[in-house]
Amino acid sequence: MPETLRSFRELCARHGIAVTHQRQVLYETMQSMYGHPSPEEVFEAVKKRIPSISLATVYKNIHLFVESGVFREVSIHHGTLRVEMNNMPHHHMVCSVCRTVTDLPDGEFGTPLLQVAMPAGFLVERVSIDVIGICPDCQARPN
C-alpha cells in the first residue's frame, strides 16, 4: 500500500471517518492548495481527477472533515466557508472586497488576556484575530 494511502487511512481512523476514494482525492487536493480554499475552488480542482464528482459531495465531505477536526473552518462570520489546513497557531488578514484570507504568524500579535476578557465558564478552544481591510490588489483597482 502506498505511503500516502496508508497515512490517509490512519488519519481517517483517528478521526472516525470512513475511507473512500473521493475523500482521499479531496483531502490530497486540499492539502496541495494554497491558502484558504472555498468549496467551489476545491470542487474545480477535484473535478480534474474525478470528473463525475458533484459540488454537493465536495461540500458534504468538507463539512465532514471540519466537524471531525481534520481541517478547521476559517472566519465563520465572514459569510463564506473557507477551509484551514494550517494547524500552527496564527491569525488572519481578510480583504473586505475580494474576501482573500492570508495567514499572519501568531507572534505578530500579543496574546489577549483571556482570563480577564472571557466570562466565567467560557472554555476557549483557540484564539484567532481577524484583521479586516482592503488588500493591495483591490486598492489598485479603479472604482
pTM score, two decimals?
Answer: 0.65
Q: Once rounded to an integer, what is the mean pLDDT over residues 10-39?
A: 91
Rounded Cα gap, residues 115 and 118, in angstroms: 6
Contact 62, 42 (CB under 8 A): yes
Contact 62, 82 (CB under 8 A): no
Q: Give the three-class secondary structure for 133.
A: strand
Contact 82, 37 (CB under 8 A): yes
**Is the CATH code 1.10.10.10 the one for domain 3-78?**
yes
**Is the CATH code 3.30.1490.190 the one for domain 88-140?**
yes
Q: Where are the domains of the chain?
A: 3-78, 88-140
pLDDT at 58: 95
Q: Which residues are within 8 A (CB) of 49 and not within 5 positions of it... i.e. 6 or more apart? A: 25, 29
pLDDT grade for 113, boundaries at 50, 70 and 90: low
pLDDT digits 0-9 by tens, 49-102: 999 999 999 999 999 998 898 887 776 555 667 777 777 777 888 887 887 788
Q: Strands 130-133 and 90-95, how do they pair?
A: parallel
Distances (CA, A) of 107 to 100, 121, 129: 21, 27, 12
Q: Which of 20-29, 34-43, 64-73, 94-103 has the lowest mean pLDDT?
A: 94-103
- DSSP character string of 39-106: HHHHHHHHTTT-TT--HHHHHHHHHHHHHHTSSEEE-GGGSS-EEE---SSEEEEEETTT--EEEEEG
In the predicted model, what is the mean pLDDT of the chain? 82
pLDDT at 110: 57
Exposed/middle/buried for residue 107 (C-beta within 10 Å: 0-12, 13-18, 19+): exposed
